Chain A
Amino acid sequence: MTTNIGNISDQPLPTGQPVLDIERLKVTFATDSGDVYAVKDVSLEVKAGEVVAIVGESGSGKTVTAKTILGLLPETAISSGAVLINGNNVIKVSPSKLRKIRGRDVAMVFQEPSTALNPVFTVGWQIAEGIRAHAADGHRISAKEAKKRATEALRKVGIPDPETRVNYYPHQLSGGQKQRVVIAAALALNPGLIVADEPTTALDVTVQAEILQLLRDLRDKYGTSIVLITHNMGVVADLADRVVVMYQGDVVEEATSRVLFAEPKQDYTKKLLAAVPHLGRNSASEGATERLHQTGKILVEAKNLTIEYPGRLGKPGFKAVDNVSFTVSENEVFGLVGESGSGKSTIGRAIAGLNRATGGSLKVLGYEMLGFKEHTFKPLRKDIGFVFQDPAASFNPHLTIGECVAEPLLIHTHPSPAQARLRVAQLLESVQLPASYAERYPHELSGGQRQRASLARSLALNPRLLIADEPTSALDVSVQAKVLELFKDIQEEFGFAALFISHDLAVVDILSHWVGVLYKGQLVEQGIGSQIMGNPQHGYTRRLIASLPVPDPDEQARRREEHRALLGI
């Protein structure tokens, strides 16, 4: 052990003395359209063994603040103020000094574990890299010693059989394990402070619960302070001691987690918390005892539907959807929930004719999709609307919003320009966008506005069926709340049937009358939304619901215990 590691880990700092102290931090970026003030005036403290969450929506400056802590700002940024880590001002120190601080005093956990690890080196090597970079003066750490310490770090983060796994390459590990490796690399030198930038955003809920548990253990066992950057209020409620709410580069409110959730003081915080979907509240199927909207025609009927992606040479294909049966009737909103890779998007795309069904039967508006032909299916396309996940990418950047929304009209009904313009204005109005937005280009709209326009486009021909594939997962919570509300209103007004696909149980519950849960391509459970959320039958559904953090620290603590009991820990 080198001395400087001992200093930090063996003698925990006296309580009250901050590990991190940010004073009047200001960060400005140079861009083409002039200076952008990303962080205006931020001061905060993190004490030893404390978990401080910085929350805010996109553009609030939370990630920039986190990057400043490690001195990772791009060259176009200038910062002023002070960021003190164990007495060193990160903004002012020389690059060589900064290199010493990184890893030893403060480390970072990134959002996307699959890109944070280098695919051509073993995970052990990558953890050891940090250890060797910080070898004490004149003392080189042998490869054997480094590997031993890497193994130790892997054991700490709960990777089973670390002696073997230390030689694994990143692709041999699952997403959750990769994130554990990233955390292990951050921990390798026992830094007093870990900055975790959206550490669970790229992970599934069940995996997220494990990683949150790990972070909590680290704090409890090793007294590591954590700065947690996140937009997910459930995660905050689960882990944070203290919360700093940021909005447009300023700290709006700062309070302990319990106080903030119970009695937020600022209007912005109140609005933010109100917008967070809360499992079990505001369910679309509340009080329902039997399946709603079963009187109308059945629009989508899947019987033992199987969708297989062809494998590479000599390898069997991959079954994305396995023997799934369900129906969607007129006026009904069918919610499809599942984690990544469960096949939920594949089903949605198959209904829209973007993927091919390979087995069973899938009838869409009476048309058999097994072996469908584009030219015979085409007349039906005007009855199917599709809303994509990323509103930014689903618009042609070279066409105005008006042209994009008019596109389905031009293809199917050939209206005169004046008629088209009128219809576009109506459509934009129905999604609460001013008609003048038709002249704008997609990049001139905010994410929420773009998703409204996307909804307008999918409704242009009054479709009987709408498929919405994760329509709100790219949006901020407050925007998501508005879009969901709009979706609900419009569905009631236009009366189309909808297949609503999402990974977020709470979101699905707000909209759907009937919910299906997908797991590894199989529909493990379906039923009335409120009943599934309240009383799940299948083991997987139970785990899924138990691992979803709710934005309420006390309730979440209780749920956490339940979850642990469920897993038998």
Chain B
Amino acid sequence: MSTATIPGRKKSVLSGLPVISHVNKSVGLQRGMLITGLVLTGLFLLSTVLAPLIAPYGYSQLSDASGAFPTQQAPSGKHLLGTTVGGYDVLSRVLWGSQTAVTVIVVAVAMSIFLGVALGLLSGYFGGWLDRVLVVIADAIYAFPSLLLAIVMSIVISRGQSSFWGGILACAFSITVVFVPQYFRVIRAETIRLKAEPFVESAMVLGASSLRIITRHIFKNATRTLPLMFTLNASEAILTLAGLGFLGFGIEPSSAAEWGFDLNKAMADASSGIWWTGVFPGIAIVLTVLGLTLVGESINDLNDPRLRGRKRAGGKARNKATAGTDGMNTGATTAPEPETGSPEAGKA
């Protein structure tokens, strides 16, 4: 079993890094899940970086030197995964699509973390009317179905027009609006808990200013769960993006490749036996989301000593049944399910 390779107790800088330390800590099935997730996520990122090199054609390319591409052509030597009804090369669209996805994730999650954390810290620390108003707003946003909200936002922001950045920003903004309350709630709950901790009270007794208490004592302690939320929300962001594209609020094919949009166009093909236009973008979405969720859930389990499987004392490795089944469920529920986004939100 792979656990034999766990390195000695000497800690190098490298093994102290978040994901690497998690791999080292994991055992058995949990390790398998984490590594599968990491491999899938790695492939996804790799295709993002290398898309210009490995994609045979551009994302909006309809012809090459030998003339226009045939439409709805089955996978062949020239078009490895076939072509779509519009005449795009499916393989190229799938590869380029990862670039759009990463951009949207980075922009959306970065914005929502920044806003959510700042608001959560202020609201939790100062309380009072500011807290009440912000909580009501967050609750109101929660009350909307997130996809509906995203659609409204995308109409408001880009009026249905979709240049590359226009489309990306529309998607990112709408995802931000949906995610900010999540980060807000988690950080606010942590802040309220930490505010009653003796070390924060001790800073108060010393006469530290509120700004100093928030930045020096609360911030770092309240944001421990963010890497985890980031991975889980990243998969949700992809699903929201795909959902928007599928409903026609995404990015036009001439501006960027987008899996949801391609799925939408492939709908009509499904009933006429043209499977390749829908299956490949779909697989891309599933594998990316699966990869990110596996990483997120594994890190979540590994961070919690009660869920973490360990080597048996003095014996060989084994997995805790609970942790194993937990992970299985995760794998199966890659379908959009907003509640799985943040395990911390439940505590809040």
Using CB atoms and an 8 Å cutoff, list the residues of chain A in contact with chain B: 28-36, 75-78, 352-354, 378, 381-382, 384, 386, 388-390, 393-399, 407-408, 411-412, 457
Contacts and interface: CB of A to CB of B under 8 A. Distances in A.
Interface stretch (B131-139, B171-179, B204-212): B204-212
Given A33-B9, A389-B198, A396-B221, A411 B312 contact: no
A30 B206 CA distance: 41
B112 to A, nearest CB: 24
Contacts of B312: 30, 76, 78
Given A31-B310, A394-B202, A395-B199, A411 B207 contact: yes
B221 A398 contact: yes
Nearest to B220: A398
16 contacts: A30-B311, A30-B314, A31-B310, A32-B25, A75-B320, A78-B315, A354-B204, A378-B207, A384-B205, A386-B205, A394-B198, A394-B201, A407-B203, A407-B208, A411-B206, A412-B206
Contacts of B209: 411
B79 interface: no
B205 A411 contact: no
Contacts of A411: 206-209, 212
Interface of B: 9, 25, 197-199, 201-209, 212, 216-217, 220-221, 310-315, 320
B207 A381 contact: yes
A386 B203 CA distance: 10
Nearest to B322: A75
Contact of B9 (A34, A75, A381): A34
Given A407-B206, A408-B206, A30 B310 contact: yes
A77 B209 CA distance: 47
A388 B313 CA distance: 37
A396 B217 contact: yes
Given A34-B9, A352-B205, A76 B313 contact: yes
Given A78-B312, A382-B207, A457-B202, 20 more contacts: A30-B310, A30-B313, A30-B314, A36-B313, A353-B205, A381-B206, A386-B202, A388-B198, A388-B201, A393-B199, A394-B201, A396-B203, A396-B217, A396-B221, A398-B220, A407-B206, A407-B208, A408-B207, A411-B207, A411-B212
Q: Which of B25, B197, B313 has the most CB atoms of chain A within a 10 A radius of its CB? A: B313
Contacts of B311: 30
A393 to B, nearest CB: 5
A28 B314 contact: yes
Contact of B313 (A29, A399, A412): A29
Contacts of A397: 199, 221
A263 to B, nearest CB: 39
Contact of A394 (B199, B212, B313, B314): B199
Contact of A354 (B197, B205, B212, B310): B205
B321 to A, nearest CB: 9
